């Protein structure tokens, strides 16, 4: 774990760069995190990020790709278009949530 400054906030991040404490996240952090992985957020991204935050608050763990897809009605293909390559990880990263466990 290391400490770093993003959008003027001092936050702790894991070895893989995910926020160590989801509570450190705020909406002004998301565009900065997105920029770090080459994304610009539009309304579609925001809809998904808000779902992920709310779902995490209730479930206590990061939603899987399938869960995001079924709960928000977004086809998986579109999740790949919005968060290219690794949508599950990128969504979690921008939303300040733990890396999805990928299931055991």
Partner 1 sequence: MSGTRKHLLVLGAGTAGTMVVNKLRKRLPADGWGITVVDRDDVHDYQPGYLFIPFGLTTPEQVRRTRRPLIHDGVDVVLGAVERVDTEAHEVHLEDGRVLPWDQLVIATGTSPRPEETEGTLGPQWHREVGEFYTYEGAIALHDQLDTFAGGRLVVHITELPIKCPVAPLEFTFLADDWLRRRGLRERTELVFVTPLDGAFTKPVASRTLGSLLEEKGITVEPDFLVERIDQERKVLVSYDEREVAYDQLVTVPLNKGADFVAASGLGDELGYVPVDKHTFLATGHDDVFALGDASNIPTSKAGSVAHFSVEVFVENFLEHVAGRPMTHSFDGHANCFVESGHGKALLLDFNYDTEPLTGTFPLPRVGPLRLLGESRANHLGKLAFRHVYWNALLPGRPLGLPAEMSMAGKNPA
Q: Which of 20, 24, 71, 72 binds partner 1 (CB under 8 A)?
A: 71
Q: Which is nearer to partner 1, 29 or 45 (CB)?
A: 45
Rounded to whole angstroms, how far apart are CA atoms 97 and 53?
8
Strands (E), 1-103: 2-6, 9-13
For partner 1 (CB under 8 A), the number of binding residues is: 17
Q: Which of 67, 73, 96, 97 binds partner 1 (CB under 8 A)?
A: 67
Q: Does 104 bind partner 1 (CB under 8 A)?
A: yes
- DSSP letter at 20? S
Q: Which residues pair with 2 in a beta bridge?
A: 13
Rounded to whole angstroms, how far apart are CA atoms 2 and 88?
23
Biggest CA pair distance of the chain: 36
Question: Considering only 4-12, 27-35, 43-51, 74-82, which stretch makes contact with partner 1 by CB under 8 A?
Answer: 74-82
Residues forming the site for partner 1 (CB under 8 A): 61, 64-67, 70-71, 76-77, 80, 84-86, 101-104
């Amino acid at each position: 774990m290391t400490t770093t400054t993003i959008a003027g906030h001092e936050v702790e991040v894991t070895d893989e760069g995910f926020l160590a404490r989801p509570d450190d996240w705020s909406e002004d952090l998301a565009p900065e995190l997105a920029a770090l992985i080459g994304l610009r957020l539009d309304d579609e991204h925001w809809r998904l990020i808000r779902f992920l935050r709310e779902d995490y608050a209730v479930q206590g763990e990061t939603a899987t790709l399938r869960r995001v897809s079924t709960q928000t009605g977004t086809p998986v293909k579109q999740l790949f278009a919005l968060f290219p390559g690794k949508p599950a990880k990128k969504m979690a990263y921008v939303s300040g949530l733990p890396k999805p466990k990928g299931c055991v």
